[in-house]
């Protein structure tokens, strides 16, 4: 079986472009097959109930369809862009759930605008740099970045998972991001 | 010159994930326009997030999920590239993030100090405004019980926390008591998001207080 993730990066970007330019449903179906189950896994991991995770994964893919024109293949990575949509949607859903008892209609399905960080360097080039920077982080630093950033877990929960005092977790997160910034600045 | 003072990590992450309120979001966005290092960090995190997503073991969807979504594609056929709002304000530094917002007029609030409102789309506990101070001005000493985030658009000031020049972000928390002094040279223009009540001292303080409470 070929390694899907290795060929994916470039392909997914052109599929999103095909969706944006030609409203290409076959391209969309391909994106769906790759991303929707991973978005669902991402949501399940964050504690979203299965039924809602299913619904939100579909919602996320509808956003991919609607917002494909915002994707800039020269400045962003396809999976990074989709990750951002999924993360925004999850936070928006959590916010909606919190406010549901107050104003149910306040939030339409539209999530917060997904505007990508400015393209600073060529996406492919930056991708390599990010890979090398991430590889230089210690396992502990990777762990706190995964928990705090990828999985958006509250500091208290991270402290419980790692069995560390809250203060230690906070400074570890801070140091991990400082190191990542330094590594990315260095290679710029 | 690249900024050396950045927003705290939590704020950048909240910006990234879309959970910052509009006021803070605006100030962080202004900083990002002026800070290649933060742009790189966020772009890097986005890529790393994508790699993380790609690497997750797939959780299969329900049987007809794709068909269901395909059948809904047309109903959601709306998004047109929204025309980018024109930066139509008279600020010497053009900040794209400010373009959609209506700015009030500069109002004199004390010797060498002017204040200008920035309208947000929703009124909340967060206020955003611009502050302009003449070179050499000593700004009022203040403390506050909420959060405050400032980005310097032009000029520079100094306080106990260091020197803050164009693009720098002053991410103060409620324990800090600051008395910024504007440097000689250029007039200093800042964009400020502020939550909670500010307590100002002295003559300038009394003048500025009613305005920032608006
Ligand atoms: Zn910065």
Question: Is A55's Cβ below 8 Å from some Cβ in B?
Answer: no
Structural domain span for residue B176: 1-56+86-214
The domain spans of chain A are 4-106, 117-187
Question: Residue B162: how many CB atoms within 10 A of its CB?
Answer: 11
The residues near B114 (Cβ < 8 Å, ≥ 6 apart) are: B106, B107, B108, B131, B132, B133
Best residue of B6, B25, B51 to probe chain A, by most A CBs closer than 10 Å:
B51
* CA closest to A143 among chain B residues: B52
pLDDT band for B154, please (50, 70, 90 cuts).
Answer: very high
C-alpha closest to that of A94 among A143, A149, A56, A41: A56
Most confident of A8-12, A15-19, A142-146: A15-19
Strands B126-133 and B148-154: unpaired
Nearest chain A CA: its distance from B136 CA (Å): 33
Facing B79 at nearest CB: one of A33, A66, A88: A66
Question: Is B83's Cβ below 8 Å from some Cβ in A?
Answer: no
Helix, strand, or coil (residue B190):
strand
pLDDT at B204: 55
Specify if B78 maps to a domain: no
**A118 or B145, higher pLDDT:** B145
Contact B50 A83 (CB under 8 A): yes
pLDDT at A101: 44
Does the domain at residues A4-106 carry the CATH identifier 3.40.50.280? no
**B2 or A41, higher pLDDT:** A41
* % of residues, chain A, pLDDT over 70: 80
What CATH number is attached to the domain comprising B158? Answer: 2.60.120.10
Domain count, chain B: 1
Facing B46 at nearest CB: one of A91, A117, A185: A117
ipTM: 0.84
Evaluate whether B107 touches B114 at the Cβ level (below 8 Å). Answer: yes
pLDDT at B175: 57
> Virtual CA dihedral for A160, A161, A163, A169, nearest 10 degrees?
-80
Average pLDDT, chain A: 82
pLDDT at A10: 53
* % of residues, chain A, pLDDT over 90: 51
pLDDT band for A82, please (50, 70, 90 cuts).
Answer: very high
- pLDDT tens, residue by residue, B48-86: 999 999 999 999 999 899 999 999 988 766 555 555 555
CA–CA gap between residue B167 and residue B154 (Å, rounded): 8
- pLDDT tens, residue by residue, A11-63: 899 999 999 999 999 999 999 999 999 999 999 998 889 999 999 999 999 99
pLDDT band for B194, please (50, 70, 90 cuts).
Answer: confident
Evaluate whether B193 touches B146 at the Cβ level (below 8 Å). Answer: no
pLDDT band for A108, please (50, 70, 90 cuts).
Answer: very low
Question: Is B94's Cβ below 8 Å from some Cβ in A?
Answer: no
pLDDT at A167: 93
User: May I ask the CATH class of domain A117-187?
Assistant: mainly alpha
C-alpha closest to that of A28 among B53, B78, B65: B65
Q: Is the pLDDT of residue A97 over 50?
A: yes
Contact A150 B49 (CB under 8 A): yes
Evaluate whether A62 touches A39 at the Cβ level (below 8 Å). Answer: no
Q: What is the DSSP letter of B155?
A: S
CA–CA gap between residue B61 and residue A58 (Å, rounded): 9
Nearest chain A CA: its distance from B182 CA (Å): 29
Specify if B62 maps to a domain: no
Q: What is the DSSP letter of B47?
A: H
Supply the pTM of this predicted model. Answer: 0.84
* CA closest to A142 among chain B residues: B48
Distance B209 CA to ligand 1 centre (A): 29
pLDDT at B192: 92
CA–CA gap between residue B144 and residue B174 (Å, rounded): 6
Distance A119 CA to ligand 1 centre (A): 15
Evaluate whether B11 touches B149 at the Cβ level (below 8 Å). Answer: yes
Facing B72 at nearest CB: one of A53, A62, A177: A62
pLDDT at A111: 38
Question: Residue A102: how many CB atoms within 10 A of its CB?
Answer: 7
pLDDT at A168: 94
Facing B56 at nearest CB: one of A41, A80, A185: A41
Using a CB cutoff of 8 Å and minimum separation of 24, what contacts does A182-185 make?
A183/A132, A183/A133, A183/A136, A183/A137, A184/A129, A184/A130, A184/A133, A184/B37, A184/B40, A184/B41, A184/B44, A185/B37, A185/B40
DSSP character string of chain A: ---HHHHHHHHHHHHHHHHHHH--HHHHHHHHHHHHHHHHHHHHHTT--HHHHHHHHHHHHHHHHHHGGG--TTTS-HHHHHHHHHHHHHHHHHHHHHHTTT-TTS--S--S---PPPP-S-HHHHHHHHHHHHHHS-HHHHHHHIIIIIS---HHHHHHHHT--HHHHHHHHHHHHHHHHHHHHHH-
Distance A181 CA to ligand 1 centre (A): 10
Average pLDDT, chain B: 83
Specify if B72 maps to a domain: no
Beta bridge partners of A117: none
Specify if B31 maps to a domain: yes
Tell me the CB-side half-sphere exposure of residue A147, using CA atoms within 13 A: 21
Distance B128 CA to ligand 1 centre (A): 19
Mean pLDDT of B107-119: 88
Helix A123-136 and helix A166-187, axial crossing angle in degrees, nearest 10 = 140
Contact B56 A76 (CB under 8 A): no
pLDDT at B50: 93
Specify if B164 maps to a domain: yes
CA–CA gap between residue B192 and residue B27 (Å, rounded): 7
Contact B53 A78 (CB under 8 A): no
CA–CA gap between residue A120 and residue A76 (Å, rounded): 10
Provide the CA B148 distance to its chain's centre, in angstroms: 10
Question: Is A174's Cβ below 8 Å from some Cβ in B?
Answer: yes
Question: Is B64's Cβ below 8 Å from some Cβ in A?
Answer: no
pLDDT band for B93, please (50, 70, 90 cuts).
Answer: confident
CA–CA gap between residue A112 and residue A99 (Å, rounded): 16
- pLDDT tens, residue by residue, A114-141: 444 444 456 677 888 888 888 898 999 8
Question: Is B2's Cβ below 8 Å from some Cβ in A?
Answer: no
Specify if B132 maps to a domain: yes
């Amino acid at each position: 079986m070929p390694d899907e993730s290795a060929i994916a990066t470039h392909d997914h970007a052109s599929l999103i472009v095909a969706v944006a330019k030609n409203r290409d449903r076959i391209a969309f179906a391909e994106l769906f097959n790759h991303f929707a189950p991973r978005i669902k896994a991402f949501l399940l991991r964050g504690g979203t109930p299965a039924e809602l995770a299913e619904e939100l994964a579909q919602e996320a893919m509808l956003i991919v369809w609607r917002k494909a024109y915002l994707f800039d293949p020269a400045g962003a990575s396809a999976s990074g862009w989709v990750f951002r949509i999924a993360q925004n949607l999850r936070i928006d859903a959590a916010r909606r759930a919190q406010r549901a008892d107050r104003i149910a209609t306040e939030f339409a399905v539209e999530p917060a605008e997904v505007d990508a960080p400015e393209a600073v360097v060529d996406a492919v080039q930056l991708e390599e740099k990010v890979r090398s920077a991430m590889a230089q982080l210690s396992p502990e630093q990777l762990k706190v970045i995964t928990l705090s950033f990828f999985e958006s877990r509250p500091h208290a929960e991270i402290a419980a998972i790692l069995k560390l005092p809250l203060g230690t977790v906070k400074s570890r997160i801070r140091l991990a991001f400082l190191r990542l910034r330094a590594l990315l600045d260095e290679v710029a | 010159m690249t900024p050396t003072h950045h927003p705290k990590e939590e704020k950048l992450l909240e910006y990234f994930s879309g959970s910052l309120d509009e006021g803070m979001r605006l100030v962080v966005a202004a900083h990002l326009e002026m800070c290649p290092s933060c742009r790189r960090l966020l772009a890097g995190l986005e890529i790393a997030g994508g790699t993380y997503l790609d690497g997750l073991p797939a959780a299969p969807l329900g049987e007809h999920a794709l068909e269901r979504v395909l059948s809904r594609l047309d109903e959601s056929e709306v998004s047109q590239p929204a025309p980018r709002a024109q930066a139509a304000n008279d600020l010497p530094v053009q900040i794209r993030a400010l373009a959609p917002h209506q700015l009030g007029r500069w109002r004199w609030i004390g010797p060498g100090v002017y204040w200008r409102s920035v309208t947000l789309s929703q009124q909340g506990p967060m206020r955003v405004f611009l502050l302009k101070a003449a070179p050499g001005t000593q700004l009022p000493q203040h403390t506050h019980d909420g959060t405050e985030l400032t980005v310097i658009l032009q000029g520079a000031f100094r306080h106990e926390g260091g020197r803050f020049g164009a693009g720098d972000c002053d991410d103060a928390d409620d324990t800090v008591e600051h008395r910024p002094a504007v440097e000689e040279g250029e007039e200093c223009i800042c964009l400020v998001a502020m939550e909670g009540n500010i307590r100002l001292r002295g003559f300038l303080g009394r003048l500025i207080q009613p305005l920032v409470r608006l």
